[in-house]
Structure 1
Amino acid sequence: MKAVVFDGKALTLEYDENYPKPSIVNDTDVIVKVEYAGVCGTDLHIIQGEFPASKERPLPLGHEFSGVVHEVGKGSIFKVGQKVVVDPNRACNLCNFCRDGNYQYCLTAGINSTIGIWRDGGWAQYVNCPQDQVYALPDGITTEQAGLCEPYSCVSRGFDRASPISIGKKILIVGAGIIGNLWTTTLHVQGHRDVTVSEINKSRLDIVKGLGTGYRLVTPDVLASENQRYDVIVDCTGVGKVMEINFKYLNYGGKYVLFGCCPPTHQASVNPFDIYNKELTLIGVKINPFSFPKAIGLLKAMGDRYLNYDRLGVKTYPLSAYEEALKDLKTGHISKAVFKIE
C-alpha cells in the first residue's frame, strides 16, 4: 500500500508505494481505510528530532485521521463501511494513573503508545486500530470534517482545563496556526466575543479574518506597545520565549493555557512574585484523555460554518506530495496540511 514512512534513526521521510498492508491480528482489531490524515505540529517536531518517536523500525506517521471501516475482527462491534475517526491515544488500564482516569500521565500508554508516533499511523492507505480507539461518526459529520477531530479533542481538553471561562472575559490567543484557528472557532461557537488573536505571520491573520468571527487581529509588536491585560491567554505557538513574553500580559486572577507543544529543550522564565501577587494560574494540556466524544459533539455543532477547510486555511495533498505539504506548512502559506488519501 501507499504510505509516507518515517525513519526515526535517520530522521528521514520517504514515500513508499509498497509498504505492507496491515491485517487482522486480534478479534477486536479494526482495519481503517484512511480518507483524511492531518499533519500536526508535533509531527514536524518528530521529523526534526525534537520530539520522541519510535526508532525500532521505519513506520508511517499520522495520529490525526478519519476514514471508513475496511475489515474487522470477529469480535468487533464495528461494521465494514462505517465512517469512523480514530483516537490515537489509549490507557494501559493497569497503572495507578490510568485507573484513576488520568492516562495522559501513563508511562507505558497514553502518548507513549500513540498510533502514528509509536505504531503505524494514518499517513497510509490502511491502519490497524484497536476497536476501543475507534469512534463511529454520527450522521451529519463527513470524514473530511472528522479529519480535524483529534486536534479538536485536544482543544476540548484544554477548554475543560481552563474552565470556567465566563462569557465577557478578555481572551488572547497567541499563534494563528491551525490550533489557534481551532481555539478561535471553539470560543466563537460558545459565544465568546472579546477575543484578540496575535500572530507574526500576516498571511495567517488573513486566514483568521476569513473565519468571520470579528475578533481583533494583531501582530506581537502591537501587543508589546499596548498596556492591555487579559483574563485568559491561550498559547498555541509551542515556543518557550513567546510564553515568557506573553505571560506578562495576564490580568489579576488570570489563566495562562500553555497549549502549544514546546520541544523539551525550550526554556522560559516567569516571575514568581507575579504568580503570587496576581494569583495567576498556569495550565498545561497534555493530549486528549476521554475528550473524543466532546470533540465529536463540537464538530456536529460547528458544521461547515466553522469546519470549512478553505476558510480554516487547510489544504489537502496526496501522499506523494508530502514534501510540498511540509514546505507549505513550514512557510506559513497554509494553517494546516491534510493528506487526502485515495
Structure 2
Amino acid sequence: MEAVVFDGKALKLSYTNSYPIAQIENDTDVIVKVEFSGICGTDLHIIQGEFPASKDRPLPLGHEFSGVVHDVGKASIFKVGQKVVVDPNSACSLCDFCRKGNYQYCLKAGINSTIGIWRDGGWAQYCRVPQVQVYALPDGITTEQAGLCEPYSCVSHGFDRASPLNVGDKILVCGAGIIGNLWVTTLHHHGHRDVTVSELNTSRLEIVKKLDTGFRLITPDVLANEKGLYDVIIDCTGVGKVMEINFNYLNHGGKYVLFGCCPPTHQTCVNPYEIYDKELTIIGVKINPYSFPKALGWIAAMGSRYVNYTKLGVKTYALSEYQKALADLKTGIVSKALFKIV
C-alpha cells in the first residue's frame, strides 16, 4: 500500500507504494481505510530529531486521522463501512496515573505509545487500530472535519485546564498556525471577543482573517511596543524564547497556557518574584486524556462556520506530495497540511 514512512535512525522520510498492508491481529482490532491524515507540528519535530519516536523500524507517522472501517476482528463492536476517527493515545489502565484518569502522565502508555509515533500511523492507506481508540462519527460530521478531531481534542483538554476562561477576559493567542486557529474558533464559539492574535508570519494572519471573528491581529513587534497586559496568554508557538518574552505581558492574576509543544532542548527564564507578586499561574497542556467525545461535540456544534478547511487555511495533498506539503507548512502559506487518501 501507499505510505509515507519515517526512518527514526536515519531521520529520513520517504514515500513508498509497497508498504505491507495492515492486517487484523487481535479479535478487537479495526482496520481503518484512511481518508484524511494530518501533519502535526510534533511530526515536524520528530522528523528533525527534536521529539522522541520509534527507532525500531521505519514506519508511517500520522497520529491525526479519520476514515472508514475496512475490516474488523471477530469481537469488534464496529462494522465495515462506518465512518470513524482515531484517538492515537490510550491508557495502560494499570498505573496510578491511568487509574486516576490521567493517562497523559503514564510512563508506559499515553504519549509513550502513540499511534503514528511508536506504532504504524495514518500516513498510509490503511492502519490497524485497537477498537478502544476508535470513535464512530455522529451524523453530520464528515471524515474531512474529523481530520481535525485530534488537535481539537488537545485544545479541549487545554480549555479545561485553563478554565474558568471568563467572557470579557483580555486574551492573547501567540501563534497563528493551525493550533492557534483552532483556539481562535474555540474562543469565539464560546463567546470571547476581547482576543488578540500575535503572529510573525503575515501570511498566517491573512488566513486568520478568513475566520471572520473580529479578533485583533498583530505582529510581535506591535505587541512589544504596546507592552499591554493580558488576563490569559495562550502560547501556540512551541518556542521557549517566545514564552520568556510574552510572560511579561501577563496581568495580575493572569494565566499563561503553555500549549505549543517545545522541543526538550528549549529553555526559558522567568522571574519567580513576578510569579509571586502577580499571583501568576503557568498551565501546561499535554495531549488529550479522554477529551475526544468533547471534541466531537465541539465539531458538531461549530459546523462549517468554523470547521472549514478553506477558512482555517488547511490544504490537502496526496501521500506522494509529502515534500510539497512539508515545504508549504514551513513557509506558512498554509496553516495545516493533511493527506487526502481517497
Q: TM-score range by the shorter chain?
A: over 0.9
Cα separation, 2, equivalents of 1:301 and 1:229: 32
Task: Show the counterpart of 1:61.
Answer: 61
4+ runs deviating over 3 angstroms: none
Measured in 1, the distance between the counterparts of 2:100 and 2:122 equals: 29
Displacement after TM superposition at 1:98 (Å) = 0.7
Q: CA–CA distance in 2 between the matches of 1:28 and 1:266?
A: 40
Partner AA of 1:112 in structure 2: N
CA deviations over 1:204-237 (Å, ceiling 9, x no partner): 0000011100000000000000031000000000
1:128 and 2:128 correspond: yes
Aligned to 2:325: 325
Partner of 1:237: 237
Tell me, yes or no, if structure 1 residue 308 matches structure 2 residue 308: yes
CA distance in structure 2 between the partners assigned to 1:75 and 1:29 by the alignment: 8
1:1-342 paired onto structure 2 within 5 Å: 1-342=1-342
| Whole-Å separation in 2 of the counterparts to 1:176 and 1:141 | 25
SS in 1 for 2:306: helix
Gaps of 5+ in 1: none
Equivalent-residue separation in structure 2 for 1:191 and 1:83 (angstroms): 31
Distance 2:327 2:339 in 1: 14
Letter aligned with residue 317 of structure 1: Y
The amino acid of 1:205's aligned partner reads L
Q: After TM superposition, give the deviation of residue 69 of structure 1 in Å.
A: 0.3
**Where in structure 2 are there 5+ consecutive unaligned residues?**
none
Measured in 2, the distance between the counterparts of 1:17 and 1:142 equals: 27
Counterpart CA distance in 2 for 1:24 and 1:316 is 29
Q: Which amino acid is the alignment partner of residue 87 of structure 2?
A: D
| Matched letter for residue 130 of structure 1 | P
Q: In 2, Cα distance between the equivalents of 1:100 and 1:135? A: 22
Count of aligned positions: 342
Give SS of 1:339's match.
strand
CA RMSD of aligned residues (A): 0.4
Instruction: Specify the code of the residue in structure 2 equivalent to 1:213.
Output: T
Show CA shifts across 1:32-58 (max 9, x none). 000000000000000000000000000
Deviates more, 1:45-54 or 1:305-314: 305-314
Per-residue CA shift, 1:265-292, capped at 9, x if unaligned?
Answer: 0000000001000000000000000000
Distance, in Å, in 2 between the alignment partners of 1:156 and 1:260 is 14
Q: Secondary structure at the match of 2:85?
A: strand
Residue deviations 1:54-74 (CA, integer Å, cap 9, x gap)? 000000000000000000001
How far 1:307 moved relative to its partner?
1.0
Note the alpha carbon deviations across 1:96-142, whole angstroms, 9 max, x for none: 11111111011110000000000000000000000000000000000
Task: Give SS of 1:30's match.
Answer: strand
AA in 2 matched with 1:8: G
Output the CA distance in 1 between the equivalents of 2:333 and 2:100.
43
What is the alpha-carbon distance in structure 2 between the residues aligned to residue 336 and residue 165 of structure 1?
26
Q: Which amino acid aligns with 1:96?
A: D
